[in-house]
Structure 1
Amino acid sequence: MKYKKLMASVTALGIVSGMFSVSASAAASDDFSGYVLMNIPYSQFYSAENSEIGDVDAITSATNKTGNYGKTGGAYHSGVTAGTAEDGSVAAVGKDNGSKVQGVIWAVKVDSIDAVKALGGSEITDESSVTVATMGHGSTNSTVLNGYQALSEAPAYSYYVLDSAPANYLELDGSSFKAGSDSASSKSIDVSASYGTHWGDVQLEIGEAEEASDKIINAMVITAEDGTTKGLYHLDQIWSFNQIAWNIDATEGLDGKKITGIRYYCSVKDADVADTSVPAYENYVYDYNVDVDVSEVYTGEVTGKFRNEKGLDINGLPADAQNVKARVYFTTGGRNAEYSYITPVTVNNRDGFDMEYVDVNGTRVSIEKGSVTDSTGAVTNFGELTDGTEYTVDFTCDNYYIRSIKVVYNASENVEDSESESSVADSSASSAASSSTSSKTSSAASSSSSKASSQAATKSTSNPTTGSAAGGIMGAAAILGGAVLASRRKKN
């Protein structure tokens, strides 16, 4: 059976833990001065820590995951996530109730309990209990949260009175928050970037953040070399201690820059939530020094049009794009996806197949039929287009991340090969120049940025969500709305 243990640490201000231990009756009085755990809205938490925040309204929360305490235990959410099924069992209802993460659970130094109550939250005590649930792989997983853990499903500004001083905290200043104590440890680690994953435009792999690996993640802040700081949200951007991602629609200002720091706000993790006791609250702040260049995300509109079964025209690429390559394929999706390859594939050493990226010559992706054979004699063909099929086009580029697009192949729209190539080139170049004016000026053309952007060739396949990156795929309507050549002739 677990038990509450007194902290033995000394904070950066020299305050011995336990010094502010209070009784329930003292906490109820106006004389209370000490520390509480509190549900703090993201905007207020990150502002107090001098960090900018992305547009939370632009984020589509993974609403069926908010009841996963392992991933969201450092945050609080709106709406209940657990209900009772007809047979009396626990049912996951978070998605139906629009449950969404709202903010950070963090320690706050306060001078008056009345000031805390005036914020409008609920008091959580050791006797508090709530059940959270999430649906995954066809089954419901539920957890009973006790004591301060019940803050996860309590309203904003709900609080739990701590019996000792934490190492890190904010301060309540009237009805707002300000920086308090940060007793942070610091070290340098390696971080890598990839692009266009299931989670977002940019994803950072932070496997060396070992100190945070066994902790609850309450908040994270990314700092760029130019001083830009961005706070992240759970589920949409924070999925685990070693994987974070963002779409620039919600969090702009980090792409095209060098990331120099990642700060973690963590708290003690309950190793066994199956019993009714909880560990004594402790929190931690880790500053990781990093050095990773993030490619600029191109925001101009890119469209594609199959010229015929031998070529695909791409319009809207940035005029200053360097070394653009593409791959084209069709997939049924799902956990065991089946692929139809248009651009070439190669056999890897596991007798699987890797899609190759081919050069985009000007604005043209050439298509040729071929096949490869693995060591077992299995043959995979490529280059065979199917009428009416919507194909995915992925890109790599040395100085941009260019989002994937969708293009439908319609055989009836094929254009004769004898059509003037100069006419096509002139039209495409004009479109590219026009689109590039809407893009930011690239600041990631260094050799290290080239190394980072080349990792976009490997699409993430291990993420715990099957959704595509928000805004990462153009609709068929946008694709068919590209420039059409007036001089083309249809095949008979």
Structure 2
Amino acid sequence: MRLKKVFAGALAAAMLMCAVAVPAFAAEEVEQENCLTSSYVQMNIPYADFYKAAGVDNASEIDAVTSATRNKTRAGNLAAGSYHVNADGTDITGVSCPVKVLTPWALKNAKQVTDADSYDITVTLKGKESTTTYTGADALFENDSYAYYKLNETPAYYITAWYNLLSGKWEFGKVHATETTVEGATVELNTNGHHTTYEMKISGFDLDYKTNKVYGVVLTTADGTEYGLHHVTNIWHQKNERSLKAKHSHSMVL
């Protein structure tokens, strides 16, 4: 009964932040921007920073995760929306998403990725080898934290960011986006998954994964505890279905 109660609250409060369709971390109020200029970039943001900006209470405990399935980490079709710093695929570091930089002068100290940057990643999944070329903004996929690519247009959604001289660190505000409430979605809970202890499948919402990226999922339990989930390790989407899976195992308790 306890498990049912906990996940009943989780299902009601599970939130998705997607490129256009379901940005659930939308800002509820306009942030004060006390600067004269700003720049729009796509930036690699570590999970802890990203979920702290989303208001997750235990964001300081959310860090990069170690991946035993190194090919999946480096497969763009499986880990879309995320990035990793290790070229051997041993980690999933955070998310790569649009950012409005309120202190553009600080970008000179971060790594800039341009259209001249390009590399190939070869992975083997289910016995099949495939090679993908990552160029320009896509080259952030396997790159440093806080590396960025300058955007030529104002994005439809973004996170505000600024560099704190006192702490010597980047800080991030709420997401500016349109919040959408999904109606009619169904949830299936499996407590004895093939790879995980708990597996939650969310179906029935219109989300085109070819044009949208899932940057994060916040899972809220009945007691109000929030968990920021990771790509590949916790978050999966199923091809040819309007569904997304959130996985949680004893080895990945946050």
TM-score range, shorter chain: 0.7 to 0.9
Q: CA deviation at 1:187?
A: 1.6
Contact 2:48-2:62 at 8 Å conserved across structures: no
Match of 2:51 in 1: 46
Q: CA deviation at 1:32?
A: 5.2
Match for 2:133 among 144, 166, 179? 144
Match for 1:64 among 56, 71, 78? 71
How big is each residue's C-alpha offset from its partner over 1:234-292, in whole Å with a ceiling of 9 and x where there is no partner?
Answer: 1111121522201144235xxxxxxxxxxxxxxxxxxxxxxxxxxxxxxxxxxxxxxxx
Match of 1:243 in 2: 245
Q: CA deviation at 1:208?
A: 1.5
Match for 1:196 among 175, 192, 195? 192
Match of 2:215 in 1: 218
**Aligned AA (1:65):** K
| Structure 1 segment 6-25 matched on structure 2, within 5 A | none
Is the alpha carbon distance of 1:79 and 1:58 closer, same or farther for their aligned partners in structure 2, counting shifts above 3 Å? closer
Q: CA deviation at 1:210?
A: 2.4
Q: Classify the secondary structure of the residue corresponding to 2:107.
A: helix
What is the alpha-carbon distance in structure 2 between the residues aligned to residue 125 and residue 221 of structure 1? 32
Is the alpha carbon distance of 1:103 and 1:206 closer, same or farther for their aligned partners in structure 2, counting shifts above 3 Å? same
How big is each residue's C-alpha offset from its partner over 1:327-367, in whole Å with a ceiling of 9 and x where there is no partner?
Answer: xxxxxxxxxxxxxxxxxxxxxxxxxxxxxxxxxxxxxxxxx
Is the alpha carbon distance of 1:152 and 1:136 closer, same or farther for their aligned partners in structure 2, counting shifts above 3 Å? same
Q: CA deviation at 1:117?
A: 3.3
**Aligned AA (1:237):** N
Contact 2:74-2:89 at 8 Å conserved across structures: no
Q: CA deviation at 1:139?
A: 3.1
Match of 2:91 in 1: 100
**Aligned AA (1:244):** A
Is the alpha carbon distance of 1:135 and 1:168 closer, same or farther for their aligned partners in structure 2, counting shifts above 3 Å? same
Q: Classify the secondary structure of the residue corresponding to 1:35.
A: strand
How big is each residue's C-alpha offset from its partner over 1:25-68, in whole Å with a ceiling of 9 and x where there is no partner?
Answer: xxxxxx85121110000000001111235655775442121221
Match of 2:150 in 1: 161
Q: Normalising to structure 2: TM-score of the pair?
A: 0.72
Please state if 1:179 is matched with 2:174.
yes
Match of 1:276 in 2: none
Q: CA deviation at 1:77?
A: 1.0
Match of 1:362 in 2: none
What is the alpha-carbon distance in structure 1 between the residues aligned to residue 27 and residue 49 of structure 2? 23
What is the alpha-carbon distance in structure 1 between the residues aligned to residue 46 and residue 233 of structure 2? 16
Contact 1:133-1:143 at 8 Å conserved across structures: yes
**Aligned AA (1:247):** S
What is the alpha-carbon distance in structure 1 between the residues aligned to residue 250 and residue 177 of structure 2? 29
Match of 1:116 in 2: 107
**Aligned AA (1:111):** L
Structure 2 stretches of 5 or more lacking a match? 1-25, 29-35, 164-169, 238-242
What is the alpha-carbon distance in structure 1 between the residues aligned to residue 39 and residue 77 of structure 2? 28
Contact 1:12-1:181 at 8 Å conserved across structures: yes
What is the alpha-carbon distance in structure 1 between the residues aligned to residue 85 and residue 160 of structure 2? 24
What is the alpha-carbon distance in structure 2 between the residues aligned to residue 142 and residue 168 of structure 1? 30
Q: Classify the secondary structure of the residue corresponding to 2:106.
A: helix
What is the alpha-carbon distance in structure 1 between the residues aligned to residue 37 and residue 142 of structure 2? 25
| Structure 1 segment 362-377 matched on structure 2, within 5 A | none
What is the alpha-carbon distance in structure 2 between the residues aligned to residue 59 and residue 79 of structure 1? 10
- Percentage identity across paired residues of the two chains: 27
What is the alpha-carbon distance in structure 2 between the residues aligned to residue 217 and residue 99 of structure 1? 21
Larger Rg belongs to: 1
Is the alpha carbon distance of 1:32 and 1:134 closer, same or farther for their aligned partners in structure 2, counting shifts above 3 Å? farther
How big is each residue's C-alpha offset from its partner over 1:156-213, in whole Å with a ceiling of 9 and x where there is no partner?
Answer: 0000111222232211132211214131211231111002223311101112232254
Match of 2:85 in 1: 78
**Aligned AA (2:202):** I
**Aligned AA (1:170):** I
Match of 1:359 in 2: none
What is the alpha-carbon distance in structure 1 between the residues aligned to residue 130 and residue 55 of structure 2? 37
How big is each residue's C-alpha offset from its partner over 1:441-465, in whole Å with a ceiling of 9 and x where there is no partner?
Answer: xxxxxxxxxxxxxxxxxxxxxxxxx
Q: CA deviation at 1:115?
A: 1.6
Q: Normalising to structure 1: TM-score of the pair?
A: 0.39
| Structure 1 segment 461-476 matched on structure 2, within 5 A | none
Contact 1:199-1:236 at 8 Å conserved across structures: no
Match of 2:4 in 1: none
Aligned residues: 210
What is the alpha-carbon distance in structure 2 between the residues aligned to residue 180 and residue 194 of structure 1? 32
What is the alpha-carbon distance in structure 2 between the residues aligned to residue 225 and residue 116 of structure 1? 41
Contact 2:65-2:93 at 8 Å conserved across structures: no
Is the alpha carbon distance of 1:217 and 1:132 closer, same or farther for their aligned partners in structure 2, counting shifts above 3 Å? farther
Contact 1:61-1:101 at 8 Å conserved across structures: no
Structure 1 stretches of 5 or more lacking a match? 1-10, 14-30, 81-96, 253-492
Is the alpha carbon distance of 1:58 and 1:143 closer, same or farther for their aligned partners in structure 2, counting shifts above 3 Å? closer
